[in-house]
Structure 1
Amino acid sequence: MRVLVVGGSGFLGREVCRRAVAAGRQVVGTFHSQDIAVPGVAAHRLDVTDRAAVRALVAQVRPDAVVSTPYRYDDWTVTADGAANVAVAAAEAGVRLVHMSSDALHAGRPSPYLDDDVPTPIHAYGAAKAAAETAVRAVDPGAALVRTSLIVGEGSKQIQLCRDALAGRATLFTDETRCPVDVTDLADAVLELACSSYAGLLNVAGPDAVSRAELGLLVAGRFGLDAAALKTTTGAAAGVVRPTEVRLDCSRATDLLRTRLRGVRELLAR
């Protein structure tokens, strides 16, 4: 099986490349500025906003499956238009597509979000992810669209943010709840979906719902850092508009996938 990982130099994309190589698959990964640097991966520079270039690469690689992971938090063209370009190229080639989405497209509420709940974005990034989903579903109804949450693991931005807050260099919100997922668990789930025929939306995240501040405390416990030094505030006090309580109901993924999605408390247990 040949897998094309679009966005292979990102945190998740690089792990998907690693896990795919370890499973004996042929892997081609794309990058824009930062090389992938994973042994066994054929790397290609790609601008996902260039539809002709995306089409040409898919035609050249002739993959059995495409995993689409690219995003840029402050760039609509990469997050939304880029996803559409990848979907068009995959559909034209008749290739299986797994598109990575995000819980950021939800506004937040006390009750968990189901797989098929419609997006309710309240900031630009969430709107871009919602637009990406709309484009992918229109272009390729057979694609799997994975909604995930904060991705944690060795070298993750989320763990580093917690370390920075424990060192007084950043602040974590007490009123922003997510369901963190381990990067290796997520990568395995994505590759499992690439070999399946599942179509549509699927929540794939960890079972533990924690605030960003609680995540900081878990990181402090795991690495023996001073929890009393953790800097916290609320989104309202900081004057930011971001989703608050976003819990993903992953019961469908739990029933469907062999991959076990571990909770962040288990992951960060000493």
Structure 2
Amino acid sequence: MLTATAPDAVINATSGMADWSVTADGAIRLALAATRRGCRLVHVSSDAVFSGARIHYDERCLPDPVTPYGAAKAAAETAVRHLSPAAAVARTSLIVGNGDSVHERRAHAADVHFTDDIRCPVHVGDLASALLELAASDHAGVFHLAGTDAVSRHELGTLVAHRDDLDPTRLPTAHRADARIPGALDVRLDAGATQPLLRTRLRGAREFLR
């Protein structure tokens, strides 16, 4: 495909979740192909590369994953940075759209929302705009594309409910720690070093869901 289209830049926004052959090996193959053809590469990563042990993570923090998905994403990051030193690795968090994201659908379905599972959601429009900016730039290294608000999944569901005129009291709550679901509880991506490089303002969930 790269040979046929000869793109100037490639944004790798794919995810095979915990499927190593897609999430890790696939990203490595794409990095090799893009580098051979001289394409600008922006690789989209995830806050799942972190364990949550330190809660606050800036762009300098090294991955310490605790799930298979996080490990695959971390491996992809390392490979991309080694194979394509000029590439941009963009870590993001929960992606929320205009009613289409899984997080919004869960609020409408009144699924259980954890009160102790905290992330920094980003609006899909802000994320897309920031990724295009990175693709058009020569910035290399790791960047954080996350919203400014750290919210629990329950607060996120409540914000969606208020926006969509739903009853937020319908959302059942629970503690993720009690459910013993693998993965980090509290991961807050700090985009302090990334935001000054962008024209796009990465809004917090309390703003874009208002």
TM over 0.5: yes
2:132 paired with 1:187: no
Q: Cα deviation per residue 1:154-212 (whole Å; 9 max; x = unaligned)?
A: 21112112222x2xxx2111111100000011000000011101001001110000000
Deviation at 1:251, TM superposition (A): 1.0
Q: Cα deviation per residue 1:114-170 (whole Å; 9 max; x = unaligned)?
A: 102011111111001001101111110110000000000121112112222x2xxx2
Deviation at 1:248, TM superposition (A): 0.8
What SS does the aligned partner of 1:252 have? coil
- Asked whether the equivalents of residues 235 and 242 of structure 1 are also in contact (C-alpha less than 8 Å), the reply is no
- Match among 114, 118, 121 for residue 62 of structure 2: 118
CA distance in 2, matches of 1:243, 1:108: 5
- Asked whether the equivalents of residues 235 and 241 of structure 1 are also in contact (C-alpha less than 8 Å), the reply is no
Q: Equivalent residue for 2:171?
A: 230
What TM-score do you get using the length of structure 1 for normalisation?
Answer: 0.75
Q: Equivalent residue for 1:93?
A: 37
Map 1:64-213; keep pairs closer than 5 Å: 64-109=8-53, 111-154=55-98, 155-164=100-109, 166=110, 170-213=111-154
Q: Equivalent residue for 2:184?
A: 243
Matched residue type, 1:72: G
Which structure is richer in relative contact order (CA contacts within 8 A, separation 6 or more)? Answer: 2
Deviation at 1:111, TM superposition (A): 4.2
Structure 2: stretches of 5+ with no match in the other structure? none
Deviation at 1:236, TM superposition (A): 2.0
Matched residue type, 1:246: V
What SS does the aligned partner of 1:133 have? helix
Identical residues among aligned pairs (%): 51
Matched residue type, 2:154: A
CA distance in 1, matches of 2:45, 2:54: 21
Instruction: Quickly say closer, same or farther: Cα 1:73–1:111, change in 2 above 3 A.
Output: closer
CA distance in 2, matches of 1:215, 1:189: 22
Matched residue type, 2:106: L
Structure 1's consecutive aligned runs of 4 or more residues displaced over 4 angstroms after TM superposition are: none
What TM-score do you get using the length of structure 2 for normalisation?
Answer: 0.96
What SS does the aligned partner of 1:251 have? coil
> How many residues are paired up?
209
Structure 1: stretches of 5+ with no match in the other structure? 1-56
